[in-house]
């Protein structure tokens, strides 16, 4: 096999790609230079996965990469009709973020149950004020998204004694991990019983705005909502209204319609809303793990073997086997 050209979008910081030395020419693009360089590349690594540039620059015709790997779980930022239609393979970072995100969500659930946020505010005020809090074991969670991240969240909450209903696109009656996976049509029937609603769905045309006025109206007033998927899965103004109107008890958002949040965003100080800067999956060493994963997949590519974490471009995610 002749030397491949690997085009990397983003270099702040650059990935460690030592293992490609002598096997691939690595060139870097930014959002401006991407369109001009795409026709020269065999492989595109979407290292900066927060950019919309790939979707915007993807050629309608002519030479283009035969493989695109994104250093993220979601592929919503890069998929466009031309990329979906052609035969370019798309792979993602499945395997890197699941466990950290599951821990993060479990921590949020406990923090909300035990009112850590109230405790910290009282500490600031130097006030000793005992309260009774919630037991996590025995509560019910609806986890939306039956991919690896939703599954890891479901498994971790189950280990804490939470009864978990996992919701996917389609029903599965004999799921090896959860037994039953509910279909998306069942969601509205599950929401009224939920203590916790966790959004871990991929962003697709079917899921955009999934959590809006109607969903929040179906949740009980004790419900607490967590989104670690993509900001566009939630209609932020409807969530804010639900919180301000005490329609639901609390929420935590790690992802937003527009990122980063600017200092004047109204979301920073909505009552009972926890805001974090899209970091739920990012543990120390995550960038190295992403670079290793890409290089492992490059080994498959170079050997002519099937790629791992192949995205079904029409579905918009890697189907669970």
**Alpha-carbon distances of 290 from 15, 36, 118, 278, rounded to whole Å:** 8, 26, 36, 17
Q: State the catalytic residue, choosing from 98, 224, 230, 236.
A: 230
Indicate the residue among 256 and 301 with the shorter CB distance to its own copies: 256
Indicate the residue among 189 and 285 with the shorter CB distance to its own copies: 285
Q: How far apart are CA 6 and CA 259, in angstroms?
A: 28
- 259 catalytic? Reply is yes
Q: How far apart are CA 73 and CA 239, in angstroms?
A: 24
The verdict on 159 binding its own copies (CB under 8 A) reads yes
Return the ∠ at Cα 35 (arms to 34 and 37), rounded to 5°: 65
The verdict on 220 binding its own copies (CB under 8 A) reads no
Residues 108-127 within binding reach of its own copies (CB under 8 A): 108, 110-111, 113-114, 116-117, 119-120, 122-123, 126-127
Q: How far apart are CA 126 and CA 286, in angstroms?
A: 37
| Candidates 36-44, 82-90, 129-137, 218-226; binding stretch for its own copies (CB under 8 A) | 129-137
User: Which helix (DSSP H) or strand (DSSP E) does residue 187 occupy?
Assistant: helix 187-190
The verdict on 271 binding its own copies (CB under 8 A) reads no
Place of tokens 């543990």: 283
Asked if 37 contacts 18 with a C-beta cutoff of 8 angstroms, the reply is no
Place of tokens 């491949």: 4
The verdict on 100 binding its own copies (CB under 8 A) reads yes
Indicate the residue among 36 and 260 with the shorter CB distance to its own copies: 260
Catalytic (active-site) positions: 230, 259, 278
Task: Kindly list the residues in this chain that would bind its own copies in the complex (CB under 8 A).
Answer: 99-100, 103-104, 106-108, 110-111, 113-114, 116-117, 119-120, 122-123, 126-137, 156, 159-161, 259-265, 268-269, 274-280, 282-286
């Amino acid at each position: 096999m002749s030397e491949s050209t690997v085009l990397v979008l983003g270099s702040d910081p650059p990935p460690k790609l030592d293992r490609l030395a002598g096997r691939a020419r690595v060139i870097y693009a930014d959002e401006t230079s991407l369109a001009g360089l795409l026709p020269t590349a065999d492989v595109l690594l979407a290292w900066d996965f927060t950019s919309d540039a790939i979707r915007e620059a993807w050629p309608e015709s002519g030479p283009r990469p035969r493989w695109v790997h994104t250093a993220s779980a979601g592929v919503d930022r890069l998929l466009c009709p031309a990329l979906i239609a052609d035969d370019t393979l798309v792979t993602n970072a499945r395997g890197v973020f699941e466990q950290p995100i599951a821990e993060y969500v479990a921590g949020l659930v406990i923090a909300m149950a035990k009112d850590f946020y109230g405790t910290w505010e009282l500490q600031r005020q130097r006030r000793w004020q005992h309260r009774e809090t919630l037991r996590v074991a025995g509560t019910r969670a609806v986890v939306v998204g039956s991919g690896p991240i939703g599954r890891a969240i479901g498994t971790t909450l189950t280990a804490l004694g939470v009864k978990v209903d996992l919701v996917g696109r389609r029903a599965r009656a004999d799921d090896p991990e959860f037994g039953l996976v509910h279909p998306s049509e069942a969601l509205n029937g599950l929401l009224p019983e939920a203590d916790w609603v966790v959004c871990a769905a991929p962003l697709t045309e079917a899921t955009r705005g999934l959590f809006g006025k109607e969903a929040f109206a179906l949740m009980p007033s004790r419900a607490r909502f967590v989104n670690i998927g993509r900001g566009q899965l939630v209609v932020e103004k409807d969530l804010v209204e639900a919180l301000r109107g005490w329609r639901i008890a609390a929420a935590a958002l790690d992802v937003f319609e527009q990122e980063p949040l600017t200092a004047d965003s109204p979301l920073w100080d909505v009552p009972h809303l926890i805001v974090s800067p899209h970091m739920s999956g990012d543990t120390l060493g995550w960038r190295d793990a992403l670079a290793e994963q890409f290089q492992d997949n490059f080994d498959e590519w170079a050997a002519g073997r099937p790629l791992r974490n192949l995205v079904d471009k029409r579905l918009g995610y890697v189907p669970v086997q």
